[in-house]
Structure 1
């Protein structure tokens, strides 16, 4: 959907059409093909955003009106804003609900009980709490800190670590800025700024890769786990963020090409700082 659609609504429609045509399935873990689940999506552009949740080829959509989070649970309550034709009748025939008035997507299609209010100690509940507490004042830097939260495990450690983290600042008429760690554990990672097209910014071509390359930054960072350098990491990241914010405030002084080139320079600087941390 993101590859083929040029807006949130078009991407949503593409994913829905593919889901209805081909369904979903297969192993969802890198080294455990038995790990399977059905998927939820937040699909956003600078003007609108949607939550799409699925159960096999069945789907439901909520148009986001304020802030929203999804995490490991079906979360759309009631009948949503858009849904697949026939989904309520399907649920009635399967015995999932009694009638049209009894249909509640999260409750009807969830394999477990649904609480009215998510626990603040769950990842979904905690992220929703943080977003609601700061609605109207959320910045990319604030989102980075949300992703470093440990009480509810948004920043996951141990045997199921966060693979990588991303914060995207979507701007309608201007260049959007996308921040990527390119590494596990956002609490000990530096977010690097990207502006599309990426061109000379640091990236790897799509795989498939059949083996881990020990020279990859992602691998070296995962092995080193620079927990003792958190203050140094934060200071480096703040300096990069400040420079990006200054650049954004001066954006009207540059052409689009000049602005992207300046982001590329900061991107390279962020990667150099990140490599200093683990080498």
Structure 2
């Protein structure tokens, strides 16, 4: 079972967009995928067709990360082929306080995922923050995937994330791979976007996926429809890009297995 944490300390870079549509792409490849929504806003939960307000706390990711419920108790079916959800609850916003400063509080998710589960991939959607909730996701992961936008402001939190991942790797999780990046919402006609893309490829030649997710109107619209891009508009350019990204990630994980 491959565990991928989608993280970036900067908000608005498309973590949830990547999580949901990458999960759907992997599902279309025939994989069994679990999405864990650790963001108290619950956008991934809503996107996958589960009203966050109707989700009891004891059947949510909050209960899993705080060791109040086994993950098997929280699994919900979704309308996306092959995709199952462990949804968010508003109490995730205060979970860091409950987890406290003890090291044991950082391992709740990893321990939960040590159970025998019927999935090929687990994708963990993180809030744009630091703290015990995100550390749980990083420690549980095999690979951290950081969506970045192709403009300079998007790069501000990238160095901090890389440092955090390296710290987690050295202290808690020696098997954690170097973080990989994917450029999201790319507009190739804009010179500034092209310049940032070139900079990223120069600085991170081995940890930036070749696939880029382009700026695409259907991709912006499909959240409102509570559908992945594959259900909303299978012929959209971004649908092909997410399939290509899924293939790259599978190759990366198999190469390091």
- Fold agreement, TM-score > 0.5: no
Asked which structure has the greater CA Rg, the reply is 1
Q: Normalising to structure 1: TM-score of the pair?
A: 0.28
- More helix per residue: 1 or 2? 2
State the TM-score, normalizing by the size of structure 2.
Answer: 0.30
Greater length-normalized contact order (CA 8 Å, ≥ 6 residues apart): 2
